[in-house]
Structure 1
Amino acid sequence: MNLPPASALPQTPLLVVDRAALDRNLRKMQALCDAAGVRLRAHGKTHKCSTLGRLIVEGGAVGLCCQTVGEAEAFVAGGIQDVLVTAPPPAWAGPRLAALAKAGAKVGVVADDEGQIDRLSDAAVAAGTMLDLVVDLDLGTHRTGVYPHEALALARAADASPGLRFAGVQAYLGHLQHLDDGALRQSADEAAFATLKALVAELTAAGLPPPVVTGGGTGTHAFDLASGVFTELQAGSYAVMDVEYDACGAPGGGDWPFEPALYVAASIVSARHKSHVVCDAGFKAMSMDGPPARVVAGAAPGSLWRPMGDEHGMIAHPATLDVLKAAGRAPLGFAEAVTAADADPSREEPADAPRVGDVVWLQPGHCDPTINLYDALHVWDGERLERWAVDGRRVSL
């Protein structure tokens, strides 16, 4: 873990990337893909940063995945010329995607109904360009995609539509990525591979062999690369990692080949209580759709971060966690437990608790939505911070 000194931070909370760890993660995933003979199409929804995206492509990836049209536009504007939008497009999206292709980018997009295909075809024809159409499959996530038995009809519709090329199928198994039962994660993934292989055979027999079979993710990457069916891997979180992936464990067991590279720097702004101190990182600094952020530096080992509102979070010392436990036993438990701890003359503030002005380092629970809260990644190379804009964040026109 290579973190900048507090004197190098322009402000807090600040999203900081350890460049050395990032580079190691990128090289490891590219090497794993190369060894398996599978193209890497890293998912840009994780970082939404064209500078990082270019680094991934320059390292050997065929291109990037995007979850939104805005990400695709930002990545193409940032110099990435091969993008795949991995979510079925809204009705307004066709002309904007066609404009990217018209300008010279290779643009793919998934679809899961014929109306989407018709609209994309109309937009591509109107722009005088071509879009790659990938049929989106639902193998259990139940978010988007067609069941496998419905895929051939969409493949035929794409193949017959002017302005579109049938480019293959997408199978993203999002519901498996964070399963903490490693054996179940593997067996469910392998069952999906069998279904996917049968579909590829069906499409091939119908004269529509899929040029690309794309999908997979960080949580199943080892199984995906060994499957023999994927031709592209869509992993994204491997670049920076987070608490959620650390908690579920690497596919196949053992240690992850990737390491944490993303942190939030927070300043201690108040230390008025014996049970905890308060930092300037709350809900607005850290996504809370996964496990809580982990304290990794600047406080005693075992300290906990918990949000205390929009702008603030607590750092609780391991010696005072009894206060937090007591706080959960009554409707006004937190206020009562903290007040009692402060009034207890036998209780002292831990000598190694952070003080006002100190910086505490937090590892996000879920990297993707946490990055989306910031305008930039501040990348530390051991000597200086470099600002990389998170230019793929959702914007309003």
Structure 2
Amino acid sequence: MQALCDAAGVRLRAHGKTHKCSTLGRLIIERGAVGLCCQTVGEAEAYVAGGIQDVLVTAPSPPWGAARLAALAKTGARIGAVADDEGQIDRLSDAAVAAGVTLDLVVDLDLGTHRAGAYPKDALRLARAADAAPGLRFAGLQAYLGHLQHMDDLDLRKSADEAAFATLKALVAELTEAGLPPPVVTGGGTGTHIYDLASGVYTELQAGSYAVMDVEYDACGAPGGQAWGFEPAMAIAATVVSANHKSHVTVDAGFKAVSMDGPPARVVAGAAPGSLWRAMGDEHGMIAHLSLIDVLKAGGRDPLGFDKAVAEADADPARAWPADAPRVGDIVWLQPGHCDPTINLYDALHVWDGETLERWAVDGRRVSK
């Protein structure tokens, strides 16, 4: 991703909400990124504590967050915040003045996600407010198009992204004509990175998932229709704890081990090719053998139907116990369906480079103070 950004003349500000790991963040910066994005005040605090000196918080902060962001800037780190209304700008300004620091202020735009951000018609007004506010430095515009990142229809993903670029270019022209050219136009993501880098409007890319990848990105396909240029780099180690059925074995990875807001985790090693993982409760999951997936499907979501299907498979002498099914104690490796919230379930990443195993703390998880 860094090479792609360098070739396009666009800065990479990798999104740390994906990995929440300051060790990985420092490596990304060492390889050329200008800094990190993060989504929460707690993440920003963890990254600064972990040695990251340039952080942009890409979601509007709650009222209590302004003073804490100003305190971070007092450490010497460059801290940026986004805002989508004057009240947020005023709070950040007051906190910065009280702390004797300057915060970067990026106007957050809503170009279709409808989660946060101001409508384009309000951009100039907010830019003027940020520029006039003591303690703040108007730092540019943010346009993150989260609703496009996993769009299955690649043609629609591209056309929708390009429509947003047109709006963004018009805003840049409007602000420039008003004497407030945005120093940075930041946004974009892994699912649209090719279009974002070619847009001619983004000066900074906020991609994050590329660093580890997940099933959801693999399923929706790379922008442009070619193969992904990023390899999956993360898996969950699930241990087989029970193997009493011909149809499946049970592992110690259920709802508490795998975020369920995306597609199911994918079996990538340790079981027969084609095996499927499915949750079986808070603590457990099944690894269904390919030859018996039809049996499990026959049970559907009906507990009685599932019980009947499993019992009939076990009792059928014509169905052999799968010789290539994992045994108790074996490890089955699962690729998460959605990387960000799955990493958030764990205290650390265990990183293997082929020679050395290291433990990197997931130190950006939500903290309470």
TM-score by length of 2: 0.99
- List aligned pairs for 1:208-223, cutoff 5 A: 208-223=180-195
Which of residues 209, 216, 231 is equivalent to 1:237?
Answer: 209
**Match status 1:69 vs 2:37:** no
SS across alignment from 2:118: coil
Of stretches 110-119 and 346-355 in structure 1, the one that deviates more from structure 2 is: 346-355
Q: Deviation of residue 338 (structure 1)?
A: 1.1
- List aligned pairs for 1:279-358, cutoff 5 A: 279-328=251-300, 330=302, 332-358=304-330
Q: Residue type of the partner of 2:314? A: D
Q: Deviation of residue 383 (structure 1)?
A: 2.2
Q: Residue type of the partner of 1:189? A: D
Q: Distance in 1 between matches of 2:260 and 2:303?
A: 22
Tell me: higher relative CO, structure 1 or 2? Use CA pairs within 8 A at least 6 residues apart: 1
Q: Distance in 2 between matches of 1:249 and 1:33?
A: 20
Q: Deviation of residue 59 (structure 1)?
A: 0.4
Which of residues 230, 233, 256 is equivalent to 1:261?
Answer: 233
Q: Residue type of the partner of 2:142? A: Q
**Match status 1:176 vs 2:148:** yes
1:329 to 1:293, Cα distance in 2 relative to 1, 3 A: closer
SS across alignment from 1:40: strand
Counterpart residue number, 1:113: 85
1:122 to 1:40, Cα distance in 2 relative to 1, 3 A: same
- List aligned pairs for 1:1-397, cutoff 5 A: 29-328=1-300, 330=302, 332-397=304-369
Q: Distance in 2 between matches of 1:40 and 1:330?
A: 48
Q: Residue type of the partner of 1:302? A: G
Deviations 1:208-233 (A, max 9, x none): 11000000000000000000000000
Q: Deviation of residue 345 (structure 1)?
A: 2.2
- Structure 1 consecutive aligned stretches of length 4 or more whose deviation exceeds 2 Å: 329-332
Paired residues, number = 369
Q: Distance in 1 between matches of 2:44 and 2:301?
A: 48
1:94 to 1:329, Cα distance in 2 relative to 1, 3 A: closer
Deviations 1:233-262 (A, max 9, x none): 000000010000001111001101101000
SS across alignment from 1:31: helix
Q: Distance in 1 between matches of 2:357 and 2:252?
A: 21
Q: Distance in 1 between matches of 2:341 and 2:119?
A: 28
Q: Residue type of the partner of 2:149? A: Q
Q: Deviation of residue 33 (structure 1)?
A: 0.2
Q: CA RMSD in A?
A: 0.8
1:223 to 1:274, Cα distance in 2 relative to 1, 3 A: same
Q: Residue type of the partner of 1:284? A: K
Q: Distance in 2 between matches of 1:119 and 1:87?
A: 15
1:304 to 1:153, Cα distance in 2 relative to 1, 3 A: same
Q: Residue type of the partner of 1:66? A: C
Q: Deviation of residue 381 (structure 1)?
A: 1.3
Q: Deviation of residue 329 (structure 1)?
A: 6.7
1:79 to 1:329, Cα distance in 2 relative to 1, 3 A: closer
Q: Distance in 1 between matches of 2:356 and 2:7?
A: 34
Counterpart residue number, 1:21: none
Of stretches 340-349 and 352-361 in structure 1, the one that deviates more from structure 2 is: 340-349
TM-score by length of 1: 0.92
Q: Distance in 1 between matches of 2:348 and 2:192?
A: 28
SS across alignment from 1:332: helix
Q: Distance in 2 between matches of 1:384 and 1:356?
A: 27
Q: Deviation of residue 335 (structure 1)?
A: 1.6
SS across alignment from 1:42: strand
Q: Deviation of residue 331 (structure 1)?
A: 5.4
Q: Residue type of the partner of 1:385? A: L
Q: Residue type of the partner of 2:359? A: R
Q: Distance in 1 between matches of 2:308 and 2:67?
A: 58
Q: Deviation of residue 357 (structure 1)?
A: 1.0
Q: Deviation of residue 384 (structure 1)?
A: 2.8
Q: Distance in 1 between matches of 2:303 and 2:247?
A: 19
SS across alignment from 1:262: coil
Q: Distance in 1 between matches of 2:323 and 2:347?
A: 36
Q: Residue type of the partner of 2:97? A: V
